[in-house]
Structure 1
């Protein structure tokens, strides 16, 4: 009995000590880096430096998260809903009390390079420092200089609403040990300067992998090869950029890729949902040389093998007949009887075709469901200031109706396409 009691007391003391030791080891592995000596003093009012920073802010679509609709640009954003709770983007204006006014250029570099705040705290990785770490010091300084030109806005940042333990510095340290490796971009010597510029923009400031790479259960980018993923809480699917059945542009002319990024519309694709927001707020404003560099890089992404076709049970014939009838009643007037799309007398395609459209055929068909149920517009760009608008049909069609319509559309393109049901529609139509 005494021996058992001693063992029990020993375990009661040893286990917490082991836990503390493990926590200390994790924190030590993610210790704050020493700030390097500052480079030569910056001329923060240098027009060339400021313009460089402006372009980088556009490439990263910083305003998309750090601005509230109707509010002052860059003064702090609405809630970014994550599976772990809500995250609120901070105030990037040079206000001394609530913004970056008291941040030094070194503080700012440490945030982009190492994901730490001015006081050394670990930042939540909803801020994409896993990608901005690729930005060299010169680009960090340029972005800092441009942000200093913004009007100062006093607007305190809302505290994050993350659940325990995700709101602890220990959990962030463990996440960083597992998933974060800081370090600036290194050019590939075997590639051209244009390719390297595009690869840097796509993987660094533009952080395309944050959506198109997919995320694992802990919210880390699960596939640096752009394998696609469902956006958490938004239920839009960011298609794989390295699969021909989804969003690969490997066989597109460079000019068509540039058109999609600049105008939101190309002969074989149109920006939809969150990507339309990116085109409207970010890529359409980038210099032509940067858009071309991104296109050159995107064409060279290594393709991954398509999954083997799955055996699927065909839907009931009455469901297909019902889907075809719904298409004739609600869709054919705009998209055409065979899905050919709508064309103006000038030859300009106004309504996108559904025949051969990868939004229709890709798995999962979340974007097709959301487009039918919720509608939406392409991005307003200089080339297309009044883009095609898709009206919502959720108030007209039930979830079962949308499932039958989408199933018929997909089966028309691919007889082996998976069948949707009302539950699928209810699952994908929700979200932001």
Structure 2
């Protein structure tokens, strides 16, 4: 942290705060007219709007953050880990004391669109307002109507777990000046309605960028790295690049492969494990066929990726040992050729979760097992047993290195020290 001690950040921070105040400190961008407020309030009890809001809240996977383990849905209580400390997810049931019971729709819209709380306080970007700002006002109203229709649950927020200076909300002015610009999604007139719907879901409600893009040391996302893949902070999983074109993390995936994975948790190209399994279970399996197809169309339009710098392929010294372990432990399910069994065991050859840059996903799957989501389209998925108690770090590194360097896979090997980092990491 020598850069912090040198103090060069002070003038930079002050400059960013001033810029942030000039941009975000101006008059409320979200204020509605009295007539609009009256119309919004009247619409909140419309059953059709509430039902639509439930669908949209599911598409946005709101319950994932706002529900504690074994807790009541949307009642908060879950602590969301960040590299800077823990931020509690609030209660968003309509309890008047501990939830959003006293919120107006203007308050809710301001939170989604501008990342500001009911009292105008700046919200921490662990709440994905950097993506939710693209949600339309009409969709936000539907989500709010649904949340207001829920049974109120009294559950106070837990304490904020951030240390100085991150616990000083005014410091967010600098962060916002660098990384956030409010703006509802604007359709591209040169694209089809289906493409625009997919872009809206991926960029806005689905907030896919929040995991599938690398963050910098301040937790910000560079816009020129849209959906190029990244390590998920605190969860220690790697979310792959989502381009299906040459160089992309989903290179060769068809639209149907994408739809199948999002609908059932399994496709011909791979299976959803880790955080993505939860996304499929709680959110994407419930999307309409039209919306899933729109997402696939949009992802297939992502550009090809620039070739990585040429690095000579070096086979791991443990390759032979890894092959023996693979034959003993893995081949019965995944096949000697790494192609798996269609609809049962996922392929390892050409599987982006196996060949992703870090090796984290394969290491964690071998150590902790792989658990695909149970979905309506695949209610009894096969799971992979954990090997943490049976294999030491060197053996896990050997077998992971083998599958990352066999068949068509040409990824870097992993080291026993890499395995040791994740041996005792929680599974979620």
Deviation at 1:382, TM superposition (A): 0.7
Shift in CA distance, 328/130, structure 1 to aligned 2, threshold 3 Å: same
Structure 2 unmatched ranges of 5 or more: 1-9
1:292 is matched with which residue?
A: 293
Name 2:309's counterpart in structure 1: 308
Cα RMSD after superposing both structures:
2.2
| 1:335 equivalent in structure 2 | 334
Alignment of 1:85-234 (within 5 A): 85-223=85-223, 224-234=225-235
State the distance in 2 between where 1:20 and 1:106 align: 31
**Is the 8 Å Cα contact of residues 311 and 416 (structure 1) preserved in structure 2?**
no
Gaps of 5+ in 1: 1-15, 343-347
Measure the CA separation in 1 of the matches of 2:17 and 2:273: 44
Distance 2:417 2:294 in 1: 42
Deviation at 1:245, TM superposition (A): 5.2
8 Å CA contact retained: 1:94, 1:101: yes
Partner of 2:32 in structure 1? 36
> For residue 324 of structure 1, what is the aligned residue in structure 2?
323
How far does the alpha carbon of each residue in 1:1-34 deviate from its partner, in whole angstroms, 9 at most, with x for none? xxxxxxxxxxxxxxx9999898566434431642
The structure that has the greater radius of gyration is 1
How far apart are residue 320 of structure 1 and its match? 1.8
2:113–2:135 Cα contact (<8 Å) kept = yes
- CA distance in structure 2 between the partners assigned to 1:120 and 1:334 by the alignment: 55
C-alpha separation between the residues in 1 aligned to 2:185 and 2:12? 38
Higher alpha-carbon deviation: 18-27 or 129-138: 18-27
The whole-number CA distance in structure 1 between the counterparts of 2:203 and 2:269 is 24
* Segment of structure 1 superposing worse, 371-380 or 47-56: 47-56
* Bigger Cα displacement from structure 2, 165-174 vs 24-33: 24-33
Whether the 8 Å contact between 1:361 and 1:414 is mirrored in structure 2 is no
Whether the 8 Å CA contact 2:249–2:356 is kept in 1: the answer is no
Determine whether 1:413 maps to 2:411: no
SS of the residue 1:87 aligns to: strand
> SS in structure 1 opposite 2:39?
coil
Does the Cα contact within 8 Å between 1:245 and 1:358 map onto a contact in 2? no
SS at match of 2:381: coil
Q: Distance in 2 between matches of 1:20 and 1:192?
A: 44
Q: Structure 1 residue 183: deviation in Å?
A: 1.0
Distance in 2 between residues matched to 1:181 and 1:113, nearest whole Å: 10
Q: Residues 414 and 124 of structure 1: is their aligned pair in 2 closer, same or farther, counting only changes over 3 Å?
A: same
- TM-score, normalised with respect to structure 1: 0.89
CA 1:20–1:367 in structure 2 vs 1: closer, same or farther (change >3 Å)?
A: closer
Q: Distance in 2 between matches of 1:99 and 1:261?
A: 31
Cα deviation digits, residues 198-230 of structure 1 (max 9, x gap): 100110011000001221111112345211100
What is the match of residue 250 of structure 2?
Answer: 248
Output one character per residue of 1:85-137: Cα deviation in whole Å (capped at 9) or x when no partner: 00110001000000000000100000001000000000000000001101121
**Displacement of 1:360 after TM fit?**
2.3
Deviation of the 1:311 alpha carbon: 2.4
Report if the CA contact (8 A) 1:254-1:295 is conserved. Answer: yes
Contact 2:229 2:241 (8 Å CA) reproduced: yes
Task: Report the Cα distance in structure 2 between the residues aligned to 1:197 and 1:19, rounded to whole angstroms.
Answer: 38
Check whether the contact 1:52–1:142 (CA below 8 A) recurs between aligned residues. yes
- What is the alpha-carbon distance in structure 1 between the residues aligned to residue 392 and residue 14 of structure 2? 54
Asked if the contact 2:211/2:230 (under 8 Å) is kept, the reply is yes
Q: Deviations over 1:338-363 (max 9, x none)?
A: 32323xxxxx5311122332222231
Q: Report how many residues are paired.
A: 409
